[in-house]
Homo-oligomer: A and B are copies of this chain.
């Protein structure tokens, strides 16, 4: 169905429908690889196979393009996290559910979701809202960690350090999910277990945490 038959003048209607989508896909790859400042609209257009000015038919500005990618990435994450935090369940199970859900989301995404990492574009005032979302996500993650520590489910320790481990891990998973290692991520459960093992005061409870998390998971997905 993809008609790469090229510039058929005004005839490119059927293929034009998803040009916008292809722009987002290619832009996400390039942005993840080269950053916001390092990715030019010419690069994106070339990857899609259209001329550079044609981009501006689909997106008013370069920033509007990345804004859409940030939204796709961050809004469901924060929403899912909020649903999780306010509900019942142990901190460990919530953290487990969040991590496995996020890894799953990365795998399923058509985009290269490394927005978390390149905070570069988030400097722009127009994207302040997304920077806030990112901070909210980190804050809630840290809250979960602290709650688990205070309840005794987790070992005591610096919650900031633990947050960096969780957030760093998720960022790296994003980083390489689009590479040739996707298959390695086929097990979101293992990723969650890896982190939880580091935090749980009693590692033997991991299986119980996993079972509890399985029931919380739907709450996270409600976001989308």
Contact = CB atoms under 8 A, between A and B. Distances in A.
Number of copies: 2
A221 interface: no
Contact of A168 (B121, B160, B172): B172
B120 A35 contact: yes
Contacts of A191: 161
Interface in A142-175: 155, 157-158, 160-162, 164-165, 167-173, 175
Interface in A41-76: none
A187 B160 CA distance: 12
Interface string A99-129: 0000000000000000001111101000000
A148 B120 CA distance: 37
A205 to B, nearest CB: 13
Interface stretch (A4-12, A87-95, A195-203): A195-203
Given A38-B35, A118-B35, A168-B168, A194 B198 contact: yes
A139 interface: no
Contact of A120 (B34, B185, B190): B34
Given A35-B35, A36-B35, A38-B35, A158 B184 contact: yes
A208 B189 CA distance: 30
24 contacts: A33-B119, A33-B120, A33-B123, A35-B118, A38-B38, A38-B120, A38-B121, A118-B118, A118-B120, A157-B194, A160-B184, A161-B191, A161-B194, A164-B169, A164-B173, A165-B168, A165-B172, A165-B195, A168-B171, A168-B172, A169-B169, A171-B171, A171-B172, A194-B198
Given A172-B168, A176-B164, A190 B157 contact: yes
Contacts of A198: 194-195, 197-198
